[in-house]
Amino acid sequence: MSSKKATIYRLLVGNLFLYFGFNIWQSLFNNFAVEELAVRADQIGLIQSLRELPGLLGFWLAFLALVLGEMEVLSLSTVVMGLGLIATAWARSWGTLIAGTLIMSTGFHAFYPNSSAAALKISEGRETPRLLGIVAAVGALAAVAATGTILLAMQSWGYRQLFIVTGIVTVAGGLAIWRRERSRDGHQRQRIVFRRRYWLYYLLTFLMGSRRHMFTTFALFLLVQRYGLPARQTALLLLINNLLGMVLFRYLGELVARFGERRTLTANFLLLTGIFLGYACLDSLPVLLVFFVFDNLLFGFNLALDSYFKKIAVNPEEVTSNLSMAQTINHVAAIFVPVAGGLIWEVYGSGATFLCGAAIALLSIVFTQFVRQEQPVARQPIVS
């Protein structure tokens, strides 16, 4: 197996195990916290806020990349995710639950930007969005596998045993893809460089993060509050999302490769505007459910933004630091967008919140027109 194929294999396996563990945690965490530890709503809220800290401080990954390669970080972060799941299973109080959550979150937030960076570095041209689409499809496959595992094993194993087994499997997956990379002496070295020429990438990242947190926070809340959507139907809805993502995400990469980042992002934000307007104005549960699933598929177009950055990056060794910064920018949106949207909801009603989401999507369309349809820029030599 060639070095490139081996790296792609490790990348896909890492995504499979990491997202399998994360989706098990995401599905069980709230029920485990309430039923096993009697955690209150205010304590849950604080835990979820603390969980985002590793993402908000994502720029530290840029410094880690000075020592380790992306695939090494990918392996170690998968191991850390698994250890966080095991620590969660051992939690006997609110404080120890926070500790397990922070370990898990550190692994997850270290993984994501390095996964994208690795995909960008080992692909060129139209191959880049295609590979990113395949990676997204593998993540959706992992979510489906996690749902099936919960349905089959939850009743006989219980929360703690399922967390422990999943943690062990995730750690094993991380160790399986570990391989010490060659020294970079004489080769490319990572650099922490943030350039003004990347301003559009940073801004679109912020806008895309804002629209994501606006929709994911309030769309499902609306379906539950206004229409009384039961928990089992919610789980089924999420399962449908993951099944469709598993099949279709890889083809989103094909669309980006064929039509380019500007056209696909423009179409993406136009459709998102319609979805937000639908949630603001329509009163039909079946239609809103379809819109909910459609929004999840559109979220897959995030890969077009990473593909665009690959084209404008001056040096390949700047990729990891800037993807890490993009994660930090995304989490800045995660802090204030849900709070602002909730206040608007309480004062002006749910329609106003989703109209704000439509405005974010329209603003994104405007700035997307600045995306240049260009070939990758000529690589510049690294200055010591």
Taking only the tens place, the pLDDT of each residue in 89-104 is 999 988 899 999 999 9
pLDDT at 281: 95
- Backbone Cα Rg of the chain: 20
Assign 3-state DSSP to the chain and report helix, strand, coil percentages, each to 5.
Answer: 80, 0, 20
Q: Residue 232: which pLDDT band, with cuts at 50, 70 and 90? A: low
- pLDDT of 184 > 70? The answer is no
Does 67 score more than 80 pLDDT? Answer: no
- Quote the CA–CA distance of 117 and 195 in Å, as a whole number: 17
Inter-CA distances, 366 with 118, 270, 275, 293, 360, Å: 30, 11, 18, 25, 10
Domain boundaries 1-178, CATH class: mainly alpha
- d(CA 207, CA 330) in angstroms, rounded, equals 8
pLDDT, residue 2, reads 66
- Residue 21 and residue 166 in contact, taking contact as beta carbons nearer than 8 Å: yes
pLDDT at site 383? 34
Q: How far apart are the first and last CA of the chain?
A: 34
Mean pLDDT of the chain, nearest integer: 82
How far apart are the C-alpha atoms of 9 and 6, rounded to whole Å? 5
Over residues 316-341, the pLDDT tens digits come to 666 767 777 777 787 777 777 877 88
What pLDDT, on a 0 to 100 scale, did the predictor assign at position 317?
A: 67
* Rounded mean pLDDT, 342-355: 89
Mean pLDDT is lowest, of 98-112, 151-165, 186-200, for 186-200
Residue 116: its pLDDT value, please? 78
Find where tokens 């240049």 sit: 372
Mean pLDDT along residues 129-148: 88
The reply to whether domains 1-178 and 196-377 share a CATH topology is yes
Per-residue pLDDT of 244-274, as tens digits, reads 888 888 788 888 888 889 999 999 999 999 9
The answer on pLDDT for 348 being more than 70 is yes
pLDDT given at position 186: 39
Between residues 98 and 238, which one has the greater pLDDT? 98
d(CA 164, CA 351): 43
Q: How much is the average pLDDT of 201-228?
A: 85
Higher pLDDT, 334 or 362: 362
- The third-level CATH classification (topology) of the domain covering 196-377 is Growth Hormone; Chain: A; (1.20.1250)
The tokens describing 59, both together, are 């720029």
**How remote is the C-alpha of 254 from its chain's centroid?**
20
Q: Report DSSP state, residue 253.
A: H
Is the Cβ–Cβ distance between 368 and 263 less than 8 Å?
Answer: no
Q: Which is more confidently placed, 177 or 182?
A: 177
Residues in the chain: 384
Over 70: is that where the pLDDT of 122 sits?
yes
pLDDT band at 34 (very low <50, low <70, confident <90, very high): confident
pLDDT at 192 over 90: no
**Model confidence band, residue 233 (pLDDT cutoffs 50, 70, 90):** confident
Q: Where are the domains of the chain?
A: 1-178, 196-377
